[in-house]
Amino acid sequence: MSTPHASTCALTALELTEAYRAGTLSPVEATEEALAAITRLDPALNAFCLVDPEGARAAARAAEQRYRHGDPLGPLDGVPVTIKDIFLTADHPTLRGSRLLADGQAAAPPTDDAPAVAATRDAG
């Protein structure tokens, strides 16, 4: 799909999901643009300690299929989101902004998500 939007990163969640439903934008396109923005801007901003491009792409592909079948999970399905590093996120280290933990002192990644992370995942 090609998008008429100048930048999907400037769209609200509601605008994104309306575009997904209309078929003028896909969750995969929005995710790719978000990942490109992170790659372009994060060296100066240093806002991300972990980016999971493949996980984001897999979630976007799944959301795209749900929209194609007219069955999105809810009002946030396919909207790119970030998760603050203070929340436990299954299979990813939670460093909590600590340089000590970043230097290899972190415990094994959790196997469960914090409730807010689980709810975000459930919303697509």
What's the pLDDT band for 49 if we cut at 50, 70, 90? confident
Average pLDDT over residues 31-50: 94
Cα–Cα distance between 79 and 123 in angstroms, integer?
A: 9
Decide: residue 50, CB within 10 A, 0-12 exposed, 13-18 middle, 19+ buried.
exposed
Q: How far apart are CA 96 and CA 101, in angstroms?
A: 8
Q: Please, which residues bridge with residue 92 across strands?
A: 89
pLDDT for residue 109 = 74
- What confidence score (pLDDT) does residue 94 get? 81
Note the pLDDT tens digit of each residue in 65-102.
Answer: 999 999 999 989 999 999 998 888 888 888 777 766 65
> How far apart are alpha carbons 93 and 13 in whole angstroms?
27
CB distance 50 to 109 below 8 Å: no
Please state, in angstroms and rounded to a whole number, the distance separating the CA atoms of residues 36 and 64: 19
pLDDT at 107: 62
What residue ranges do the domains of the chain occupy? 1-79, 83-124
* Interatomic CA distance for residues 14 and 86, integer angstroms: 26
Residue 40's Cβ-side half-sphere holds a number of Cα atoms within 13 Å equal to 7
Question: pLDDT tens-digit profile of 4-40?
Answer: 445 899 999 999 999 999 999 999 999 999 999 999 9
- What is the average per-residue pLDDT within 105-113? 73
Between residues 107 and 28, the one the model is more confident about: 28
User: Given this model, what pLDDT does residue 86 score?
Assistant: 86
